Amino acid sequence: MKQPTDFIEAKNISVSFSQHEIFSNLSFKIFDDDFFCLIGKNGIGKTTLVKTILGQLHKTNGEIIFSKKFKSSLSFGYVPQFRNIDQDYPLSIRNFVSLRLFQPLVPWFSKKEKDIVDTALKRVGIFDIASRKLGSASGGEKQKAYLAQAILYDPQLLILDESTASLDTVSKFDVMDAVKNLNDKYGTTVIFISHDIPLVEKYGKHSLELKGDGKYSYKKIN
């Protein structure tokens, strides 16, 4: 069996705000092609930890080591929690996904740009409904549109921040199946922030549970 290689390693990291310690001496690894699940109650510091990993927040102590494979800001995509979109939202799914394209100085897209969008739509399974207005799409279809937008430039790391929290059960598994396909078929490393233990147990490869008071649990799932 192929030995997993490190993608991100955290060594004894600590973060504090106004003398309030969020977490301390936290150590774990995220492997290349990992499906890494970050769990814990609200306010425990899950999103803070991800921002710290990405260098958006300053850590108090410790070290975060990235693989040389992780090269630039385009190397990660981010899918937020479900966002309400009005039914009369005018953009189609395709045009919404296209918003993340680097805009040229001309008001049309090149063939290369169209191909980039088509590839993302196909990978998450919404190419056939790409002309549908985003406002009239189901909750799961909207989340897949956000997912397609996040993977537009084929990121090495995909971060899902409670992105299935407001979906019904069928839609949750549909969206997560699309994420698993990205992980399995295209080698996208995933960080999944969630409270949903059944989803974590079904899709995750490793988990880190923040428990507060400096305690945490890191383990292999599948």
Summarised one tens digit per residue, pLDDT across range 76-109 is 899 987 677 888 898 999 999 998 887 655 567 7
- Is the model's pLDDT at 2 over the cut of 60? no
- Is the model's pLDDT at 51 over the cut of 80? yes
- Is the model's pLDDT at 52 over the cut of 80? yes
Residue 207 makes CB contacts below 8 A (sequence gap 6+) with 36, 37, 38, 39, 200, 217, 218, 219, 221
User: Please, what is the angle between helix 169-186 and helix 111-124, to 10°?
Assistant: 120
Q: Which domains does the chain have, with CATH numbers?
A: 6-220 (3.40.50.300)
This prediction's pTM: 0.91
The per-residue pLDDT for 4 is 67
The per-residue pLDDT for 71 is 62
Q: What is the band of 56 on the pLDDT scale with cuts at 50, 70, 90?
A: confident
- Is the model's pLDDT at 1 over the cut of 70? no
Average pLDDT, the chain: 89
Angle at 76 between CA 83 and CA 70, to 5 degrees: 165
Angle at 153 between CA 149 and CA 159, to 5 degrees: 60
Q: How many CA atoms lie within 13 A of 83 on its CB side?
A: 12
